[in-house]
Structure 1
């Protein structure tokens, strides 16, 4: 019985943290969808078919006067949707993922505390579906890596050209997020590109060796792939333990009720 109580509270803590993470993902998705700076990206028939979120410390673009050496490392998350007609799917996928994480976390917490085999069973099923989707996405990403890089690069070039022609504020914010997140500037990394206020500020000779964004995107996918894979494997292992613990707790609950 002590082992059952231990698993019960481990399940509760794990799923409470999972629920909090889902709340955060959902909040970011809703913020991106309805924030005045990014809202225009998802409205209208010309909204882009690929969506990025860049940054560890939020999605607000950093100060252009910030010293590059003092900027914290930033990460790049990429959501690639299918054809242009479904261009808004990236942010909605983020919202759906957050909502699903909240539901799974709720089922796990309540199932553990209430000792409900039904809720624990639903928790196991949802976690199994998410695990299968993660494996499928990983396999697809590895087998289509070149295609993903090509589409992301094309999205960047399209956004850059559209901003040059329209000067739309939402496109400016998107470009600043990408430029500061990847520490790059423009399609070519030329001196002309580096002079723009949407690029990281460079000083001295550093302005002559600015990295182009297509090159930076390629480096993220090719040089950081082992990090992405490691994170994915770590998440998968946690999910497997979650499924094992949920079944162990479910079986222990059923056995305890048979003795009553």
Structure 2
């Protein structure tokens, strides 16, 4: 059985490093998803009636995606170090499925962007008005989760908003330049859409290189084992 060439060894360790990073990223994504689902500050969103399905879907996608990334990273690391064509083949298939899912999710998100933005804004306004009339603790935590993550306050963004107890704390003149939450939601999905798209494209390119490297290494390993 012949040994791998220096170039093929370089691909092997690059693939190991790439998958180790994927495994670490998957751990972080899973942790974020679990935090959003079970943290005291955000669990109120799951207890509010008529909550947006987009938020629930996003949280559970984070949990599933994080777990899947950890599995993929594990397969890639072990497949590269152990020089296992079977594990590398599984890694390639998983990465291909994730890439296809990312493309499908991107297309769906772009085609339904206006609907998602409208649903989130309606949910926020309804939650805000219900909190003002009922003062429920679950509604308060839901508002705090949204407003702290978007750094916004109320429906008007004024310094004298009646729900100031749920808004991010600011000092001095910063109090006078607060952004309303409907405007912050619009800004997230419109002004910053190119950033989200750029990140998605970057991840897609990395996945393509991962698939190419895995196939190159897999073919090299099979070639060396065929040579006696």
Corresponding residue number in structure 2 for 1:19: 23
**For the structure 1 residues 40 and 202, does the alpha-carbon distance in structure 2 shift closer, same or farther, using more than 3 Å as the test?**
closer
Output one character per residue of 1:233-254: Cα deviation in whole Å (capped at 9) or x when no partner. Answer: 1111000000000000000001
CA distance in 2, matches of 1:156, 1:253: 55
Gaps of 5+ in 2: none
Shift of 1:40: 4.3
2:10 is matched with which residue? 6
Taking the TM superposition and a 5 Å limit, the aligned residue runs for 1:212-251 are 212-251=180-219
Q: Indicate if the aligned counterparts of 2:41 and 2:144 stay in contact, CA closer than 8 A.
A: no
1:167 maps onto 2:171 in alignment: no
| Alignment match, 1:48 | 51
Alignment of 1:102-251 (within 5 A): 102-193=70-161, 196-202=164-170, 207-251=175-219
In structure 1, distance between residues paired with 2:225 and 2:187: 56
Change (3 A) 1:29 1:202: closer
> What residue number does 1:64 align with?
none
Secondary structure of 2:152 counterpart: coil
After superposing the two structures, state which structure 1 stretch, 170-179 or 217-226, moved more.
170-179
- For 1:13 and 1:195, locate their aligned partners in 2 and report how far apart those are by CA, in whole Å: 48
* Pair member with larger Rg: 2
* Helix, strand or coil at the partner of 2:161: helix
Give the superposition deviation at 1:89. Answer: 3.7
Structure with greater helix percent? 2
Determine if contact 2:153/2:180 at 8 Å carries over to the other structure: yes
CA distance in structure 2 between the aligned counterparts of 1:205 and 1:139, rounded to whole angstroms = 41
Whole-Å separation in 2 of the counterparts to 1:255 and 1:193: 70
The TM-score, its normalising length taken from structure 2, stands at 0.87
* Contact 1:37/1:173 (<8 A) preserved: yes
Higher normalized contact order (CA 8 Å, seq sep 6+, divided by chain length): 2
Contact 1:38 / 1:170 at 8 angstroms: preserved in 2? Answer: no
Instruction: Tell me whether 244-253 or 165-174 shows the greater mean CA deviation.
Output: 165-174
Q: How far apart are the structure 2 equivalents of 1:216 and 1:250?
A: 47
Q: Which moved more, 1:122-131 or 1:32-41?
A: 32-41
In 1, distance between residues paired with 2:18 and 2:107? 27
3-state DSSP class of the match of 1:159?
A: helix
- With 140-149 and 243-252 compared, the bigger mean Cα shift is at 140-149
